[in-house]
Amino acid sequence: MQTIAKLDPLRSTVTALRTDGRIALVPTMGALHEGHLTLVREARKHAAHVVVSIFVNPRQFSANEDLDAYPRQLEQDCALLEKEGVSLVWAPTGAAMYPQGYATNISVSGVSEGLCGGDRPGHFDGVATVVCKLFHQVLPDLAFFGEKDWQQLAVIRRMARDLDLTRPFADAIVGVQTVREPDGLAMSSRNAYLSSQERAQAATLPRAMKAAIGEIEAGKDIAASLGTLEQSLITGGFASVDYAELRDADTLAPLQTLDSQPARLLVAARIGKARLIDNMRVCGKNH
């Protein structure tokens, strides 16, 4: 496994790897956990070589989010990736990614707005911009993202369609199912911020979401079910709920009724020092 920090060697190495077959990209910001490794394992099933990018992208942090405190553990991450059979780690320096005078921003309207985009202004512009650059740098045949960040996945899919970024494979952007702890809590680096009591309470989130989905699928009023969900989170130990919404799974348009379209329940809620997000599929009449 090679670790590369500059663009020219990256390009020549990827060109050489491509002679063996398809290249899969797994973009990350490092501090890897089981969720990331699941993406890598999935990517390996579909490509001759897996490239993992590790870059803590300053453009997706807003002024009040602590970029400097974000965990950086390149050596430890590389050791994990080597064991997973990754061919190449692309770990660009800040200057390699955003050289002096860098001035371009990618903004995907619609899907970026509301939900986490409402709470974190500019966040999805930063994500879209860096992912677009990563696609151009690595030229992957496939790219793997966790479904845990459903809105991010929707933004990246929209951008890839709009900017013709995907290569000739229908499923060039692959969403991988969220990996969960035995009690149902979605795996996240943010779970580490929880005390043991908060960690136990956090399992209310997937439980309450499943209960709301059961009600919505059974035809109960959507607003009432979402209200019950929010109440269960507060009773279960969450300090506040940023949002709990039913949305169209692709466009993320808000849904007042559950018709035939694929729908998604998306929630962000705060407990202790953590803001946890989760999302689950909700089946319409034909799903």
| Spatial separation of the C-alpha atoms in residues 152 and 155, rounded to whole Å | 5
User: Considering the rule CB under 6 A, would residue 28 count as an interface residue with ligand PAF?
Assistant: yes
Minimal CB distance residue for ligand PAF: 27
DSSP letters for 103-120: ------TTTTSSHHHHHS
| Spatial separation of the C-alpha atoms in residues 145 and 164, rounded to whole Å | 18
Site for ligand PAF in 38-97 (CB under 6 A): 57, 60
User: Considering the rule CB under 6 A, would residue 165 count as an interface residue with ligand PAF?
Assistant: no
Q: Contacts with ligand PAF: how many residues (CB under 6 A)?
A: 10
Alpha helices for 218-265 (secondary structure H): 222-235
- CA torsion sign for 22, 27, 33, 36 is negative
| Minimum distance, C-beta of residue 98 to ligand PAF, in the bound complex (Å) | 12
| Minimum distance, C-beta of residue 56 to ligand PAF, in the bound complex (Å) | 8
Among residues 91, 127, 246, 271, which is the contact residue for ligand PAF, using CB under 6 A? Answer: 127
User: If you search the block for the tokens 């209960």, which residue do you land on?
Assistant: 211
Alpha carbon separation from 107 to 65, 124, 149, 191 (Å, rounded): 20, 7, 17, 29
| Spatial separation of the C-alpha atoms in residues 143 and 64, rounded to whole Å | 30
| Closest residue by Cα to residue 25 from 188, 179, 172 | 172
Task: List Cβ<8 Å contacts ≥24 apart for 81-84.
Answer: 81/1, 81/32, 81/40, 81/52, 82/1, 84/37, 84/40, 84/41, 84/44, 84/50
Among residues 106, 131, 165, 186, which is the contact residue for ligand PAF, using CB under 6 A? Answer: 131
Among residues 42, 125, 147, 149, which is the contact residue for ligand PAF, using CB under 6 A? Answer: 149
User: Considering the rule CB under 6 A, would residue 151 count as an interface residue with ligand PAF?
Assistant: no
User: Considering the rule CB under 6 A, would residue 225 count as an interface residue with ligand PAF?
Assistant: no
Stretch that binds ligand PAF, among 2-10, 123-131, 197-205, 217-225 (CB under 6 A): 123-131
| Spatial separation of the C-alpha atoms in residues 112 and 115, rounded to whole Å | 8
| Minimum distance, C-beta of residue 262 to ligand PAF, in the bound complex (Å) | 22
Stretch that binds ligand PAF, among 7-15, 25-33, 70-78, 136-144 (CB under 6 A): 25-33
| Minimum distance, C-beta of residue 148 to ligand PAF, in the bound complex (Å) | 9
Specify whether 36 is catalytic.
yes
**Which residue in the list 33, 36, 49, 136 is annotated as catalytic?**
36
| Minimum distance, C-beta of residue 53 to ligand PAF, in the bound complex (Å) | 7
| Spatial separation of the C-alpha atoms in residues 64 and 68, rounded to whole Å | 11
Q: Which residues are catalytic?
A: 36
Residues that bind ligand PAF (CB under 6 A): 27-29, 57, 60, 127, 130-131, 149, 152
